[in-house]
Chain A
């Protein structure tokens, strides 16, 4: 039996007269990795921000059965933004301590493990202002993971990461899946998600143009990449 940890129902988001998301519905189950694909401006980041509770919208978003704006929902969400922004005056380890305090959690050693895996353990006492863009992105991911959320939403998570961190993050995606977490990843780079997605939603102009499940593919069907370019470029590709 599947359990919907993240449920989006008829979500519409307008910026003035511009419709950024138009009546979007989907869900992500426990142990499932969903990806949002689409060109720039398709509305991926907007729906991600709606789920993270940063934007108002019409419709309904539930996280583990709680309204996404409630504190109960926020306790269960980990959000990795497209634009990593960390506190310049907090050290790496203080960021994790702050998150633990905010989520009212004791230190279980998981934070240190994440830092080690992302090769940030030797930077634990470095200030946020001393970190490179890539390190900031790793710390941003660590902050989202350290409170062990049930639902993780990543907005372009691989941008700016070094090869080791990309390898480690892809491994983490699989571990999250095995641990029964619901993971939603927004990206415009198909290559980066090709080997670990369960369901892919292709977005165009604020709506879902197609949804493809990894387990229902057969030889006659188009690959995710073919489907993507058929939708976004009308089948034209070099």
Chain B
């Protein structure tokens, strides 16, 4: 057996063995499988929507192409900076220095990456319910979207690596290739803007109708794979064949150019692989990854803070020097994704509730302590002679501007597009901010009592504590509204009237957040051993 095949086989075998030896991981996997089965079962057995009740199928095509397109462009363009890496440090240390041809090593890494790419898209499976009800997507269609998602990421990574290999050594080449790509993307952007301006009517309707035009279907990778995945969903096999042929030809061309270019790509991937490795190691050891970027000092001085509030000013200063303006790219991307979801699901009948449920659900995939998490890895928050509740409070406040920005990104455009009253938008935004604060506080509480013992345990506890913390607010809101104490039973759902349930729930979330911080305060009595 070739050494690379041996390596893949041994890793796969041990992964499965480790899986069965670890009850936590096994339970987590079974939980995920059960959830998936539940999603399929409940959606499949329920009342199947008739064709007339379904939404415009082109919306689905637009969603798929937009998702694939954003991913493809983001990953591909990373090839101009530090590149992306499909290698691990062990590959660098043991394969790159060994007597194995570089192209074989490249193919090994690509084969491995393909599996990882598909796994990262598992969240798509959980969208089955609403995709089935809104667009009639069946199980085969969901799997097609999942595979398309994986192939998009995979192709983008190969493209990014090739860009890096071709341009890393020459600033001129880098400029020309970048310009070429910008011209292509810019031409598409101008064409879309031109259509939006000339078509009149709803911009979203125009965008949806554009997605089924030939130019969009021919957009590299995202258009091809999006059309193919959509074709499987709606049974258009000629679209599937065309999309797959174009994609396969493009991938073959990428591989051909890679094989004909300078095969000495080791140096090009070394830097990004080392960076990723250091980041992962830091995360494993509960450390803040060391940034290789040089930060500009700019204006010096904290500018304020006294006692425990100094943490907030210090974190603001750090964020400014790291050029982090309250929200990270992933949070912004998630917010835009939620906005898209809201556009297609919020109706007069349902109100904003499907979107709020979705926003809360998506928080499950971004469990982290943000700024306060970084602070807890350093000794100062334990040493400063201030009440622990106040120190934690100021640490958590750092994240609130980010919550407000994501709320604005989601609800304000949605309000304009869907003609929702400003009062409802304001209350939904308030609920969003308080819900995110509650999520952060729950994280803090779990860290307080369980440390970093098990991510799987954390996940389960997180869900349970979050439900316990937030449910009373929702129940109270329903009770007060239904009994007519506030608003009226009839005004609880529609878009135009005040969603009193949300207002009560938001106030409750705020109280629960403060209470959870209070419960967590003793975590500052003793610093964990990992603190630097």
Contact = CB atoms under 8 A, between A and B. Distances in A.
B7 A98 contact: yes
When A and B form their complex, which 3 residue pairs have the shortest distance between CB atoms, in order from nearest? A85-B89, A102-B3, A101-B3
Contacts of B7: 87, 90, 98
A150 to B, nearest CB: 13
Contacts of B95: 102
Given A94-B10, A104-B99, A143-B94, 18 more contacts: A49-B270, A53-B96, A53-B266, A55-B266, A56-B169, A72-B99, A79-B93, A81-B92, A83-B89, A83-B93, A85-B90, A89-B11, A99-B98, A101-B2, A101-B3, A102-B94, A127-B18, A129-B18
A182 B266 CA distance: 25
Interface string A158-188: 0000000000000000000000000000000
Report whether over half of chain B's contact residues are helix, strand or loop; otherwise say mixed.
Answer: helix
15 contacts: A52-B97, A54-B92, A54-B270, A74-B97, A79-B93, A81-B93, A83-B277, A85-B88, A85-B89, A86-B94, A98-B7, A98-B94, A101-B3, A104-B99, A127-B14
Interface string B2-30: 11001100111011001000000000000
Given A55-B270, A85-B92, A77 B14 contact: no
A87 B3 contact: no
A151 B57 CA distance: 64
B96 A54 contact: yes
Interface in A83-132: 83-91, 94-95, 97-99, 101-104, 127-129
A74 B1 CA distance: 20
Contact of B11 (A72, A87, A97): A87
Interface residues on A, range: 35 or more
A188 B100 CA distance: 32
Contact of A101 (B6, B88, B97): B6
Nearest to B264: A56
B98 A74 contact: yes
Nearest to B262: A56
Interface of B: 1-3, 6-7, 10-12, 14-15, 18, 88-90, 92-101, 169, 264, 266-267, 270, 274, 277
Given A54-B267, A89-B14, A83 B274 contact: yes
A219 interface: no
B97 A54 contact: yes
B267 A56 contact: yes
B274 A86 contact: no
A1 interface: no
A43 to B, nearest CB: 15
Contacts of B92: 54, 81, 85
A95 B98 CA distance: 13
Contacts of B14: 89-91, 94, 127
A53 B14 CA distance: 30
Contacts of A54: 92, 96-97, 266-267, 270
Given A54-B267, A94-B10, A71 B1 contact: no
A225 B7 CA distance: 44
B87 to A, nearest CB: 10
Contacts of A102: 3, 94-95, 98-100
Contacts of A60: none
Contact of B10 (A84, A90, A129): A90
